[in-house]
Amino acid sequence: MFELYIGNKNYSSWSLRPWLLMKHFGIPFAEHMVSVAGRDYNAALKPLAGNARVPCLHDDGFQVWESIAIAEYLAERHPAMWPADAQARARARSISAEIHAGFVSLRTAMPMNLKLKLKGKPPTPDVQRDIDRVIEIWEEARTRFATGDGPYLFGDFSVADAMYAPVVWRLHIYNVPLPPLAAAYSEAMRAHLAMQAWYAAGILESEAHAHYDALADEYGGPR
């Protein structure tokens, strides 16, 4: 059985990605939660992951770290994790790599904290640029590549949806207005049973980090 090492659910946005992917596709795994207090190098995680960070997937002791690498490793055994059409599959890989490597301004300004429900505030130009790009990606995927009746980026749920799941929560938490197509996608993702399960578990966690919680005042307090 796979073993997946993750951070706590309230704060660890990166950990959500492989967890959600494996839950959606019914892949059995043992879940191990570790503390993600602080952003610096954590030597205590080195035995669990070569990069000393989570998430990290263990397959009979073999370690696979970085959420995009975990997704590719799993997709080799479960090809349905990527769209069947070659161009759609290439686009799904492109946007998955893009969210994995970029959007630093958005992630810095709007860290994951499921316990917050904020009024929001006008974003800085850099953050707005990231938000606009996310919306552009979602709308293009839904209008150009989505097939069938599925509500996800490419119709059926894929790696790309798992990669953008943390952004779905961030934009919702910080009350970012979305145009209709992007808003419908966000709603569909938040209605996913595994997303709801992750959210419910995160709300019940007691671990707290003042740096993230303080943003409630910066973004206008609770809705």
Splitting the chain (223 residues) into consecutive groups of 10 residues, what average pLDDT does each group show?
A: 94 94 98 75 82 93 96 98 98 97 93 87 94 98 96 98 98 96 98 98 85 66 65
Q: What is the pLDDT of residue 213?
A: 67
Domains and CATH numbers, the chain: 2-75 (3.40.30.10), 82-204 (1.20.1050.10)
Decide if 198 contacts 9 (C-beta within 8 A).
yes
Closest CA to 61 of 2, 146, 144: 2
What is the rounded CA–CA span in Å between residue 86 and residue 83? 8
Residue 64: strand pairing partners: 57
Decide if 18 contacts 12 (C-beta within 8 A).
no
Q: What is the pLDDT of residue 165?
A: 98
The residue type of 23 is K
Q: How far is CA 38 from CA 7, 17, 41, 160, 206, in A?
A: 11, 20, 8, 27, 16
Decide if 129 contacts 106 (C-beta within 8 A).
no
Question: Whole-prediction pTM value?
Answer: 0.94
Q: What is the pLDDT of residue 215?
A: 67
pLDDT tens readout for residues 153-167: 999 999 999 999 999
Torsion of CA 36, 76, 21, 88, to 10 degrees: 120
Q: What is the pLDDT of residue 223?
A: 62
Decide if 75 contacts 82 (C-beta within 8 A).
yes
What is the rounded CA–CA span in Å between residue 186 and residue 206? 27
Decide if 70 contacts 22 (C-beta within 8 A).
no
Decide if 132 contacts 217 (C-beta within 8 A).
no
pLDDT tens readout for residues 40-52: 667 888 888 888 8
Strand order in the sheet with 56-59: 29-33, 2-6, 56-59, 62-65
